[in-house]
Amino acid sequence: MTHTIQPSNPEVTPAPGSTDVPATTAPGAVPASNTVPAALKRRVPKYSDLAPLMQFKKPEFSKEARLKRASTIWELRDMAKRRTPQAPFDYTDGAAEEEITLRRARNAFLDIEFRPGILRNVSSIDLSTDILGKPSRLPVGIAPTGFTRMMQSEGEYAGSQAAEAAGIPYTLSTMGTASIEDVAAAAPNGRNWFQLYLWTDRDRSLELIERAAKAGNDTLMVTVDTAVAGARLRDVRNGMTIPPALTLKTVLDASYRPAWWFNFLTHEPLTFASLSRYTGTVADLINSMFDPTLTFDDLDWLRETWKGKLVVKGIQTVEDARRVVDHGADGVVLSNHGGRQLDRAPIPFHLLPEVKEAFTADNSDAAIILDTGIMSGADIVAALALGADFTLIGRAYLYGLMAGGRAGVDRTLQILEKDMARTMALLGVSKISELTPEHVRLLDK
């Protein structure tokens, strides 16, 4: 037998004396309520309710407060631009010719997709690693930069001391404005590396090598991509010289940045501390001092001369990466000099997987270090996932330096460390050794 159940729809009868007209309710529907929840009824706010919300902070104008408000390297760059004259800022910020290489290097880190894993225990993140036989608390070091005290008067002293405090390597440039010995004294417990340009005059190169060894530097980083100077057009337009020339333009520029000029004029004059005194343009210095005749024979000489770790910086092809290792290098730095030499040069981040594959095929344990374009901790994590053993920052560190001296460099490293830890946690990895190419996908344009 089939039973048909009719939906109930009882008639609603208004209460006696009511003028309300009953709403028509669809069969099976719940009648709408006209009752307003107590929480949504309007009322006059009480002071006791408002007081907890009125948390007016006292304005802070100190350097520390200003730096603390920066949460990205780009924000430190904005601060640096406001506080630094145009010529030294552009020297840091710019690149060669049309600056195509620099834009591509930065975009390379944007054109990726992270692939996170879930349900992993990431309550504790370990960012430590080993590089060239020694530990580093973070997988990033400070790259060699020239004329650093021109950017901000604390220069190499701020960089080396911040690196020492962070437990990471610091690399002093041949074209630095603090001597090998002074940097060693400023950061006696730091891991100091020295970057070398091989000159035509081998005796002067040998002198620097001996000084670096005596000062306790355990790694020599030889740069090989400066046969001639790149066409850094911003420097040409700014009339960039060492030391800066006091033209009408620079005097007007200084009026907006008195702190920089006060520091510049009241500290020791700028010189290339590892070299003899030199004045002139950056390009003239490179073209007159560095050797365009360098070959792999010179690398063999350097390997015989230097007894510590040897790294070759400026590698831009897989073939050259393999060859310098065959000639005794302990590691390579995939770098196009921050886009400051050959425009339209290969992008280190794109080259990285190929070099890693080649080294794996060769059973090589040579270190792969990457620089150029790094502006966040996420960039560093992506590089590590695709095969880098370590990374270096140049511009990112200098932006912090120009924004606030030593405190600004500290802030740079704090931002990068926080970025790295957060990115790794969201990827579902708790230590660097767990990163693999599976965590990063290069997007097709």
pLDDT digits (tens, 9 = 90+) for 277-306: 455 555 566 665 667 888 899 999 999 999
Q: Are 420 and 366 in contact (CB under 8 A)?
A: no
Residues 181-226 pLDDT 10s: 999 999 999 999 999 988 777 888 899 999 999 999 999 999 998 8
For 344-353, what is the mean pLDDT? 96
pLDDT of residue 367: 98
**Looking at the predicted structure, is the pLDDT value of residue 317 above 90?**
yes
Is 337 marked active-site? yes
Q: Are 405 and 158 in contact (CB under 8 A)?
A: yes
For 133-156, what is the mean pLDDT? 95
Helix (H) or strand (E) holding 221: strand 219-223
Residue type (1 letter), 353:
P
Tell me if residue 377 falls in helix, strand or coil.
Answer: helix
Q: How far is the first Cα of the chain from the last one, in angstroms, to the nearest whole number?
A: 68
DSSP string, 13-48: PPPTT--PPPPP--TTPPPPP-PPPGGGS--PPPHH
What is the chain's mean pLDDT, rounded?
87
Identify which has the larger pLDDT, 345 or 445: 345
pLDDT of residue 97: 87
Neighbours of 302 (CB within 10 A): 23
In order of their start, the domains of the chain are 80-442 (3.20.20.70)
pLDDT of residue 28: 61
By DSSP bridging, strand 309-315 and strand 219-223 are: parallel
Tell me if residue 396 falls in helix, strand or coil.
Answer: helix
Bridge partners (DSSP) of residue 295 are none
In angstroms, the CA 122 to CA 348 distance is: 30
Q: Among the options 327, 337, 350, 439, which is catalytic?
A: 337
**Which residues have a Cβ under 8 Å from the Cβ of 73 and sit 6 or more positions away?**
375, 376, 396, 399, 400, 412, 415, 416
Please give the angle made by the CA atoms of 352, 357 and 362, to the nearest 5 degrees: 125
Q: Are 196 and 220 in contact (CB under 8 A)?
A: yes
Residue type (1 letter), 56:
F
Confidence label for 405 from pLDDT (cuts 50, 70 and 90)? very high
Tell me if residue 169 falls in helix, strand or coil.
Answer: strand
pLDDT of residue 21: 47
In angstroms, the CA 373 to CA 109 distance is: 8
